[in-house]
Chain A
């Protein structure tokens, strides 16, 4: 069974960079899956952020206006999200997921608060 675990700082300063990592167990990150990030502001709906394939192909939501970068570390079987120039609007629970198209397996999520 695939398990995913998000990790990273829970507090980020405005205009700073949010950095999260998703550790994957039970499946090689080099398998035929995309690996995705989704977020959910408090009390609101889900927002798709982007995805990466193990050879480096990426897709991002246009709404993030080029602020996001997703990368993969095959040696550690993990992938990461960087979101630059954050504001309070980026405060959310961030989820990582295994994606054979749809989002088949999800991490438990991690809350990131943007505040000074």
Chain B
């Protein structure tokens, strides 16, 4: 099973600043990597798929990069609704796994 490790566990950022979240896979997943945001009491929502493709409705301040084993989600100019938990997810053939999540909170 492919293990995804997200870092940091918690990231404290001031509104308007940028945030960089990391996701590392235990073996190559190619570009089969997605990012989701989950706000309290809500279902997760897709932000990024294929490592760098922005989902419909996902604001331009969210960008993804990477391939193979190392991936990054960058949020430029954090807004109030961006303080939430972010998960990466690999979806290679035959199964999927999630990272443990990164909580972005207000500094």
Contact = CB atoms under 8 A, between A and B. Distances in A.
Do A and B interact?
yes
Contacts of B49: 101-102, 104
Contacts of A102: 34, 46, 49-50, 89, 91
Given A45-B87, A45-B101, A46-B101, A103 B94 contact: no
B32 A101 contact: yes
Interface size of A as a range: 20 to 34
B96 interface: yes
Interface string A79-95: 00000000000000001
Contacts of A109: 43
B95 A48 contact: yes
A-B pairs, 3 with minimum CB distance: A102-B34, A102-B49, A48-B96
Interface in A86-116: 95, 99, 101-109
30 contacts: A45-B98, A45-B99, A45-B101, A46-B36, A46-B38, A46-B87, A48-B89, A48-B97, A48-B98, A51-B96, A61-B95, A62-B1, A62-B95, A63-B1, A95-B43, A95-B44, A101-B32, A101-B49, A101-B91, A102-B34, A102-B46, A102-B49, A102-B50, A103-B36, A103-B44, A103-B91, A106-B43, A106-B44, A106-B45, A108-B43
Contacts, number: 59
Interface in A35-83: 36, 38, 45-48, 51, 59-63
Contacts of B46: 102-105
Interface of B: 1, 32, 34, 36, 38, 43-46, 49-50, 55, 87, 89, 91, 94-101
Contacts of B101: 45-46
